[in-house]
Amino acid sequence: MYKFQFFHDTYLIISTYVGEGGTNLPTKEAKLNAIFMREGVPFWVAASGYVILGLIAIGVIPLLFSSLKWYHVLVCYIVAPVLAFCNAYGAGLTDWNLTSTYGKLGLFIFSAWVGSNGGVIAGLASCGVMMSIVSTAADLMQDLKTGHLTGSSPLSMFISQILGTALGCIIAPLTFWMFWNAFDIGDPDGQYSAPYAVIYRQMAIIGVEGFSALPSYCLELCYGFFSLALLLNVVRDVIPSNISRFIPMPMAMAIPFYIGAYFTIDMCIGSLIVYVWERRNKIDADMYAAAMASGLISGDGVWTIPSAVLSLCNVNPPICMSFAST
């Protein structure tokens, strides 16, 4: 047994140093390949885990969402690996994670499949299942590539992923429960309006009822602004860069329609700070702007947890001024 393991390891090391046709790889890359290939996760482990988790999901998800039957979940787990491979491959090439696109595909298919008798809930639930599988594939691909570049063992990373997932199964529901009870989630006039929840719900309704569920002239407006966005992007790519930078980006213009103007005001203030910083000292701005942004994002995200705890305890911020009529 040990002899066969020795020959197997020797073959892996030699094959990483010498590619097809005898092309020599750089020493550092060859060593990284040898480490990565030597401690890989067996295929039967991954396949067995996927089957076991699929069986659990087939039994549990229909209990949570009665309109989504067991055979719907089975179809999700049969089709998802193909979409997961496409998403991981595309994310590796372009650094664009298209999870939401594949999720919308499942959303429309299962909403239309179930029909008017619970099709909206079934479509949203199946979309969540599909997006979880497809997104995890792309995330694992990026993590394993990072491990490959740093010379980490894929087996140790796999074990760490299992531990992290188990911990997330406990933390994520508790965090969701805390936010759900502390804030008015889904209020269109509140801080957490959840715009994407409204978008996905409307898409599920379209999947059930068809285009007849859309308001009047909705498709015409969509076609018109789609053509406008396409034209603006073509113009931006064709004309010189010193002129194209003054043409607005359609994606940036669309953001306020989804999340409100308050978010874009914050982006405008941050952009002005960076612009002034670059005008005064471009080298320092390029070096420290990302670190400054990371600190602001992390600090804002961390504070939401104490804020949720204070809201659950009915602790309101003090009001330091009052307005009285004279």
Give yes or no for a contact between 104 and 57, defined as CB atoms under 8 angstroms apart.
no
Is 58 a member of any domain?
A: yes
48 and 192 co-located in one domain:
yes
* Residue 178, domain extent: 40-214
Is 77 a member of any domain?
A: yes
Q: Is the pTM of this model over 0.75?
A: no
Is 92 a member of any domain?
A: yes
Q: What is the DSSP letter of 193?
A: -
Token pair recorded at residue 59: 């039994």
How far is residue 187's CA from residue 308's CA, in Å, rounded to a whole number? 16
For the segment 30-39, the average pLDDT, to the nearest whole number, is 75
How far is residue 51's CA from residue 59's CA, in Å, rounded to a whole number? 12
83 and 173 co-located in one domain:
yes
End-to-end CA distance of the chain: 93
Question: What backbone phi and psi angles, to 5 degrees, belong to 8?
Answer: -65, -45
Is 79 a member of any domain?
A: yes
17 and 163 co-located in one domain:
no
Residue type, 29: E
How far is residue 247's CA from residue 196's CA, in Å, rounded to a whole number? 27
**Stretch among 109-113, 152-156, 203-207 having the lowest mean pLDDT:** 152-156
75 and 161 co-located in one domain:
yes
154 and 144 co-located in one domain:
yes
Question: Based on the structure, what is the number of domains in the chain?
Answer: 2
What tens digit of pLDDT does each residue of 227-245 get? 998 898 888 888 888 888 8
204 and 71 co-located in one domain:
yes
How far is residue 155's CA from residue 35's CA, in Å, rounded to a whole number? 11
In this prediction, residue 276 has a pLDDT band, given cuts at 50, 70 and 90, of very high
In this prediction, residue 153 has a pLDDT band, given cuts at 50, 70 and 90, of confident
Is 63 a member of any domain?
A: yes
13 and 86 co-located in one domain:
no
109 and 29 co-located in one domain:
no
What tens digit of pLDDT does each residue of 280-294 get? 998 888 888 888 888
